[in-house]
């Protein structure tokens, strides 16, 4: 019984891993990549834009999703 429970946990983790995608957030002013986060690719289809603190600009700016290189 214990092994069947572990298999279910592994399956749900793999499904969750496929739906979530790692995203880089780039500052709109200085173009530095400051944050890494995850987004649900099925629910959120447009680019992610958040107001975050930029250490290089030393102020709160818009950070947008960038492509993975």
CA angle 33, 36, 42 (to 5 degrees): 120
Contacts of 4 (CB under 8 A, 6+ apart): none
> What predicted TM-score, i.e. pTM, was given to this entire model?
0.68
> Using one digit for the tens of pLDDT, what is the confidence trace for 17-54?
667 888 999 999 999 999 999 888 888 889 999 999 99
* pLDDT score of 44: 85
pLDDT at 14 over 90: no
* pLDDT score of 30: 94
Which pair of tokens denotes residue 36?
């890494």
């Amino acid at each position: 019984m214990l092994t069947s429970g572990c298999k279910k946990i592994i399956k749900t983790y793999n499904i969750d891993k496929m739906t979530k995608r790692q995203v880089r957030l780039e500052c709109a002013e200085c173009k530095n990549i400051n944050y890494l986060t995850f987004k649900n690719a099925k629910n959120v289809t447009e680019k992610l834009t958040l107001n975050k603190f930029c250490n290089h600009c030393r102020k709160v700016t818009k950070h947008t999703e960038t492509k993975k290189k």
